[in-house]
Amino acid sequence: MISPEHLIAPFEGLVSPDLQSVLLSWIKNRIFERRVSAHTVKNYLHDLKSFFEFQKEHHSTPLKIKDLSTLELQDFRSFLAYRLSKGLSHRSNARATSALKTFFKYLKKNHDIENTDIITLRSAKFLNSLPRPLNIDEALALTCDPSLKEQEPWIEARDQTLFTLLYGCGLRISEALNLSVNDVKNATRFLTIRGKGNKERLIPLLPFITRKIDEYLEKHPQRNCPSAPLFIGKQGGVLNPAVAQRQLRHLRLSLGLPETATPHALRHSFATHLLQNGADLRSIQELLGHSSLSTTQRYTKIDPGHLSRIYEKTHPRT
């Protein structure tokens, strides 16, 4: 894991030392106390750095802690407008707004620094588009076929097991990469997953999933170290998500699958196929770890026949 001190280095000279110190404490709070993923923290820091760069350019001096409470709504709006003028999307601005609000909320709670204007800051609303789900044959092909023949056997087993967990358990790739050897060694019927907000959920393990895990553990270079990451890279650390995406891209090309065959699409295929086979939305919500049912309900738009099938099956006049 990259140290918080390393993550804060790009802010040197951009903000005052006292603000840099507060940023460091915020990063530690996110990573160690709130258990936010390193990927999310890096994204938030990228947006905060962009914000401080914009403010420094317009104020001609690095921001100090005391300046944060005096920033006006127009300062925030100008920053978002500037991003749009540079070609960034409303989606990107929504993330930047979230980063700013999260940071200022931390300032109020932990450092008694409050900015009331940011409370009223709004970014354009949008709906995340769901990736097109794979059909069952396409999804199974990604979990059954070896990646690249010239690779070491443990890497082929690693990739197959990772893709099997994404499709067979509906995991986010970050959730799969957070698993340790011990997490799966002790799992027989259920797997405990720590999702967003460090919320735990239980996922049933089907026989084909446990077989893949067992086959991989036999070849895992660190199988005798319980705390080792389940999915490791060639250097022995946690597998980089970009490497997993690259491996799937190679496999997708070798199988002649569409570009929509991505790690995220495997999770959505899991939900869509459950829906198509009669699973209720509440159960799918629990399996996916969605906090809101409305998020899960969007899958009915991918499979519009779902509601018709329920209607035909349950209405007394059909």
Q: Which residues are catalytic?
A: 172, 196, 264, 267, 290, 299
Those residues whose C-beta lies under 8 Å from the C-beta of residue 263, and which sit 6 or more positions away, are 163, 166, 173, 241, 244, 245, 248
Residue with tokens 């829906």: 275
Place of tokens 């409370």: 119
Q: Is 159 exposed, middle or buried (0-12, 13-18, 19+ CB in 10 A)?
A: buried
Q: Which residue is associated with the tokens 């060694």?
A: 185
What does the alpha-carbon distance between residue 176 and residue 163 come to, in Å, rounded to a whole number? 9
